[in-house]
């Protein structure tokens, strides 16, 4: 039997059942991470989706267009509009006309938005510490390597 005909999980310790267990554990960890992150974001007065939008706006060299944000966040433009509306209502972002084409609207951070980003960094660190607390420094290093391999599998493992 060639290796290409070997079922997923076969030939590895634990086999397919172990892969199913790993998948379930990853899903449970993801849910737990979301709950902890949400708990840490509540005092900041922001949702995880709004947090992601603020971070995304901050990573652009110039204020992005709504379409740029939708593409970067991999969501429909309508979702970005709702997020921007909510953040604009609490003065964390503002819509500004593009200087070269007044029909184009760009999204920029306000001073309150930049302050919120600083609070978010602290909240994210606290959430990560909650999740990683049971691990030693060596275990965290191993986990970091494993997660890097899963997040960026390289040319042969990519989609």
Domain spans, the chain: 44-130
CATH topology of domain 44-130: Arc Repressor Mutant, subunit A (1.10.10)
pTM over 0.85: no
Q: Where do we find the tokens 């949702």?
A: 47
Q: What is the pLDDT of residues 132-148, one digit of tens each?
A: 999 999 999 999 999 89
Q: 33 or 94: which carries more pLDDT confidence?
A: 94
pLDDT (mean) for 21-28: 90
39 versus 114: which is more confidently predicted? 114
The answer on pLDDT for 1 being more than 70 is: no
Q: What is the pLDDT of residues 71-105, one digit of tens each?
A: 999 999 999 999 999 999 999 999 999 989 988 99
Q: Mapped to the 3 state alphabet, what secondary structure does the chain carry?
A: CCHHHCCCCCCCCCHHHHHHHHHHHHHHHHHHHHHHHHHHHHHHCCCHHHHHHHHHHHHCCCCCEHHHHHHHHCCCHHHHHHHHHHHHHCCCEEEEEECCEEEEEEEEECHHHHHHHHHHHHHHHHHHHHHHCCCCHHHHHHHHHHHHHHHCCCCCCCC
CA 115 to chain centre: 19
**What band does 3 get if pLDDT is binned at 50, 70 and 90?**
very low
Average pLDDT of span 58-67: 93
């Amino acid at each position: 039997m060639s290796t290409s005909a070997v079922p997923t999980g076969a030939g590895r310790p634990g086999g397919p059942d172990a892969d199913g267990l790993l998948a379930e554990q990853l899903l449970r960890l993801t849910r737990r991470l979301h709950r902890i992150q949400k708990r840490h974001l509540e005092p900041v007065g922001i949702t995880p989706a709004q947090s992601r939008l603020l971070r995304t706006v901050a990573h652009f060299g110039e204020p992005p267009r709504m379409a740029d944000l939708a593409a970067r966040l991999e969501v429909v433009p309508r979702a970005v509009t709702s997020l921007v509306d909510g953040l604009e209502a609490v003065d964390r972002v503002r819509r500004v006309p593009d200087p070269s084409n007044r029909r184009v609207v760009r999204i920029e951070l306000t001073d309150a938005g930049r302050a919120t980003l600083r609070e978010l960094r602290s909240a994210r660190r606290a959430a990560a510490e909650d999740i990683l607390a049971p691990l030693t420094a060596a275990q965290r290093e191993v986990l970091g390597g494993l997660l890097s391999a899963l997040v960026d599998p390289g040319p042969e493992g990519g989609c």
